[in-house]
Amino acid sequence: MSKKSLNIIYGIVIVALVGVVVYFAVGKKSEPAAQQQLPTSEQATNTSESNPTSTPTPADQTANWKTYNNSTYGYEVKYPNNWKVSGSGASVNFMEIGGQDVSLSFFVYDKSINEAEALLPLFSVPGRNIDSRTNVTISGINWVKLVVEKNQIAQLTYYNGKTYAVQYSTFENVSPQILSTFKFTK
């Protein structure tokens, strides 16, 4: 073998050895981090709360919203600052200021959920049928969720002898956030 060939082989062996040493040096340093236990859900929650770059929760997004309080029927709900409220008592509408359409409506009926369901304005148009009926829990309140014509939503809950209903369209993305702030005050 020529001296040139031997130098090439030695060079390859040296590069390989350096590579192995670097691999084990870096691999050993990162191994303890990989063996660390993942935080429990409580620890993860505390970590994300202290992290200023964490994603805002729905509560954060609604924190500065206005609050509508219906003392007659014992509930309150938050709504965006650029929205307005019309109506009172058992029928209250929320809509964007300058908007032409009601975006979300609350109704209170002195009836069971089944009886109140038929009274919702959503069903004032003949022939509208329920596409799906599911039970959902929002902020600790159990609701019956009705989907009509794939984009109209009605949600009803029964409390203190009354049915509380909300009606909105799936085209209005903020309505579920508004409903997430709903709570009984009596």
Domain 58-184 in this protein, CATH class: alpha beta
Q: Give residue-wise pLDDT tens across range 72-95.
A: 999 999 999 999 999 989 999 999
H or E element in which residue 128 lies: none
Write out the DSSP string of 55-77.
PPPHHHHHTTSEEEEETTTTEEE
Question: Taking phi first (over 0 means left), then psi (-120 to 50 degrees means alpha), and beta for anything else, what does residue 182 get?
Answer: beta
> What does the pLDDT read at residue 173?
80
What mean pLDDT is predicted for residues 150-168? 96
> What does the pLDDT read at residue 171?
80
> What does the pLDDT read at residue 20?
42
* Structure tokens, 126: 């003949």
What mean pLDDT is predicted for residues 44-61? 44
Assess contact for 104 and 87: CB atoms under 8 A: no
Query: What strand order describes the sheet that includes 83-88?
Result: 83-88, 91-96, 104-109, 162-169, 152-159, 141-148, 130-138
> What does the pLDDT read at residue 124?
86
* Structure tokens, 116: 């109140």
Output the average pLDDT for the chain. 78
Q: How many CB atoms lie within 10 A of CB 79?
A: 23
* Structure tokens, 49: 């709360």
> What does the pLDDT read at residue 33?
39
* 69 bridge partner residues: 76
